[in-house]
Each structure stands twice: as structure tokens, then as C-alpha cells.
Amino acid sequence: MKKAEKVAFIQQELDKRYPHPPIPLQHTDAYTLLVAVVLSAQCTDERVNQITPLLFQRADNPYDMMKLTIDEIADIIRPCGLSPMKSKGIHGLSELIVNQHNGKVPSTFEELEALPGVGHKTASVVMSQAFGFPSFPVDTHIHRLAWRWGLSNGKSVVQTERDLKRLFPESSWNKLHLQIIYFGREFCPARGHDPSSCPICSVVGRKSM
């Protein structure tokens, strides 16, 4: 199967199974989404969604978050893991949003990635899901599946993002990255994966998984 045929099949299969994929992290605006994405590093979306209501009850905007101490934030978000680092990032990014952006989450990659605790993947999620800017956030699910499907060489998430952006139309990126995440969770897990029973791997997957 040629790569163009693979891409068309994958797009068709994902559209059929997930025509309207919801955003996994619960949020009410760009700021609460940004905080939720920071918390999601090495943590499940389900766990993040259990913790953010507790955090946002105390502070759902950068002004109130600044008033909390780093230790207070860390106490609330501890179940998400990496709480010392994440609490510093959340407090620091809140200060910068207030002091440099008039309390509004910036809407460019450059400005987002300049915030504490915000890398390219986090910025891509916010740009895509909060601002609707065509982006292709690559998490571990997407990185793994792109390799399994022969769409990228799997050397780095940077290369995977570049390859996927080249293969799929820009208009599909914002929905597609969510579709791949949901598909990975349902059919294509990291462990115990049976390629022969996977609706996509069984058709386009590499011979060596």
C-alpha cells in the first residue's frame, strides 16, 4: 500500500469512528485549558479531570492563582505527579500572563512557549483547542501510532509532527490529533497490542511491531 493510500485509509477510518472527538481535558477557557495541559504531563487525562475542579475552585484565573503559594498549588495537584515542578510552572506562568499579557493567555506559539512549564506540545494543544489555530500536538499515543502505521520513522516527536503535517491536510490537524489519541486508547495501546485485531494496524501496520 502506497503512503498516500495509507493516509486516505487512516483518515477515513478515524472519521468513521470519531467524527466529533471531544477535547479530553475539562476546561472553561484558554487559561484553565493551559493549566490542565501542564498538569497532564506524565499523568492521565482522567486523573487531571479529577484534580482540576479542586484547583479551579480556589483559582480559575491567573490573578487568583498568583495569590496562592507554590506549596498550596502543589498540595492540591500532588495526585497528578511532579507537583513541585508543575506548581512552580503554574504559578510562574500565571504571573507572566498577568504582568506581560494583561491577564489573557497569549495566542502565539512564541509567547506561549516563553511561559514557565510550557513546551511546544503544550503550546500546540492550546493553540489548537483554545484558539482553533491549525496545530498537530504529538503525544506518546500519536508518536507510537505514527510509527506503527509507517507514517514516520519514530526517531523523535519533532520528526513525527513534521511528517504528519506533511501527509495530512492542514484543515484536518485539529481534529485528527484527537482522533488518533482516542483510537490509540481504544484499539492500539502501548502494551498487549495485537496488530491483527487492530482496525488500522491490520491493514497498514509495519510487519515488525
Q: Indicate which residues carry an active-site annotation.
A: 121, 139
| Separation between Cα atoms, residue 6 and residue 163, nearest integer Å | 14
Which residues, 6 or more positions from 172, have their beta carbon under 8 angstroms from its beta carbon?
A: 11
DSSP state of 22: P
Alpha carbon of 60 to those of 66, 78, 103: distances in Å? 11, 18, 12
3-class secondary-structure state, position 117: coil
* CA angle centred on 120, ends 186 and 131, rounded to 5°: 80
Residue type, 73: I
DSSP state of 172: G
Q: Is the dihedral of CA 76, 81, 84, 86 positive or negative?
A: negative
